[in-house]
Amino acid sequence: MFDLVLSNVRVDKTITDVGISNGRIAAIAPGLDRTGAAVEECDSALLLPGLVEAHTHLDKTLLGMDWVENKLGPEIREKIDNERQMKRVIGLDAARQSARQVVMSIAKGSTAIRSHVDIDTENGLADFEGVSATRNRYSDVIDIDIVAFPQSGLVSRKGTAELMEEALRQGADVVGGLDPCSIDHDPKGHLDLVFDLAVKHAKPIDIHLHEPGELGMFTFRMILERTRAHGLSGKVTVSHAFALGANDYLGISRLLDEIAAAGVALMSTGPSMVPVPPLIRALDAGITVCSGTDGMRDLWAPFGNADMLERAQILSQRNNLSQDIEIERAFDVCTYGGAKVMGLVDYGLTVGAFADLVVVAGRNVTEAVVTLPPRKLVLKRGRVVARDGKALVEAP
Ligand SMILES: [Zn+2]
């Protein structure tokens, strides 16, 4: 007997039923017994695993607030300093704002989110506390990982490491880092602090690395050395990794192999304005790759919609993917890749897995990535949390 039966749903190429019990997929077979079960008629729509938003900044979004005109230049440092000050000027409440983005993500089919959250010596742990409150509020309907993120600098801003440590004591899941050379001007100091915190608190690491070309490759090798030395294979992610987009085919090939051997994962959003890691080459090298929306509708840039199905399309277009089988790999980055990076257990479309699922119109994954249909159903642990593109939970 099942709690819920998804009737006539497309799993791979077969129209079948999916029976869900106790939050897990209990059976995949046609003609399942519906006695006592709720039934969702899916009309041959496609079943997908829950989308995984593996890199965003829930504390930053301006969703639902007054419009703030963006007059900033392209320099990262300018954006960082502006945001740190403006958060207080405009009254950005991280609890309220992160809740708004979470509800948007649920409506778009994400069932797990990894959010970097700013920690600095001006705003202290306020953003961390706000996103933690949101994590508690929505814990039944979405998984949220929090990265303690030194957005304004770590070595160059004394007191930040102590605040990050306090966040880890209070439940932050991941140690963040940021451009050890170009922001902190001290790669050894920065990376030693990040890895020491990770080892001391037994947490994984996720480092923003925007540094380009030779500089980024230099930092990469310092990250790989420390990953090997501390035995942190499978526990380190490098986000953005723009250096891997350099026009150096042989050099990048060697580095991709080293990254794969060290068990370091990559996160790429597929941005259009900079060189990006070559997605298929990274996957072929055996690297786990995940993706995310990154900051959206915030003080850095006004774009973004938290749609990880659309992210698979963006990744495909940025990497010149057009074969179905290639686009499916971009989709896997936005699902299985994110799940692996976040350490989600029992994830996927198999009997025994948690019923974190999305149902959309479409005959196959590639068609869904191309057409971006509204999410007909989103399930978290077998419970319907969004229907016909609308979340069934509310934001403040
Ligand atoms: Zn980011």
Q: Which one-letter amino acid corresponds to residue 365?
A: V
* pLDDT for residue 296: 97
- E strand segments, 143-234: 143-149, 174-178, 205-208
Q: Strand 46-49 vs strand 51-56: parallel, antiparallel, or unpaired?
A: unpaired
28: its two tokens:
């995949």
Distance 116 CA to ligand 1 centre (A): 7
Task: Return d(Cα 386, Cα 331) in angstroms, integer.
Answer: 20
Q: Which one-letter amino acid corresponds to residue 131?
A: V
The secondary element (H helix, E strand) that includes residue 48 is: strand 46-49
Distance 69 CA to ligand 1 centre (A): 21
What confidence tens digit (pLDDT) does each residue in 272-317 have? 989 999 999 999 999 999 999 999 999 999 999 999 999 999 999 9
Distance 387 CA to ligand 1 centre (A): 29
Distance 54 CA to ligand 1 centre (A): 10
Distance 12 CA to ligand 1 centre (A): 33
Distance 3 CA to ligand 1 centre (A): 39
SS3 content of the chain, % helix, strand, coil (to 5): 35, 25, 40
Distance 208 CA to ligand 1 centre (A): 6
Distance 293 CA to ligand 1 centre (A): 8
Distance 255 CA to ligand 1 centre (A): 22
Other Cβ atoms less than 10 A from the Cβ of 59: the count is: 31
Distance 371 CA to ligand 1 centre (A): 27
- Residue closest to 111 by CA, chosen among 380, 395, 384: 380
What confidence tens digit (pLDDT) does each residue in 88-122 have? 999 999 999 999 999 999 999 999 999 999 999 99
Distance 175 CA to ligand 1 centre (A): 13
Taking the CA atoms of 332, 363, 1 and 377 in sequence, report the sign of the dihedral they define.
positive
The 10 Å CB-count burial string (b at 16+, else e) for 159-175 is ebbebbbebbeeebbbb
* pLDDT for residue 197: 98
Distance 4 CA to ligand 1 centre (A): 37
Distance 209 CA to ligand 1 centre (A): 9
Distance 25 CA to ligand 1 centre (A): 33
Distance 295 CA to ligand 1 centre (A): 6
What confidence tens digit (pLDDT) does each residue in 221-248 have? 999 999 999 999 999 999 999 999 999 9
Q: What are the residues whose beta carbons fall under 8 Å from the beta carbon of 242, sequence distance 6 or more?
A: 209, 210, 211, 212, 216, 274, 275, 276, 277
Mean pLDDT of 261-281: 96
Distance 361 CA to ligand 1 centre (A): 31
Q: Exposure of 370 by Cβ count < 10 A (0-12 exposed, 13-18 middle, 19+ buried)?
A: middle
Task: Return d(Cα 178, Cα 270) in angstroms, integer.
Answer: 19
What confidence tens digit (pLDDT) does each residue in 147-169 have? 999 999 999 999 999 999 999 99
Distance 34 CA to ligand 1 centre (A): 45
What confidence tens digit (pLDDT) does each residue in 55-81 have? 999 999 999 999 999 999 888 999 999
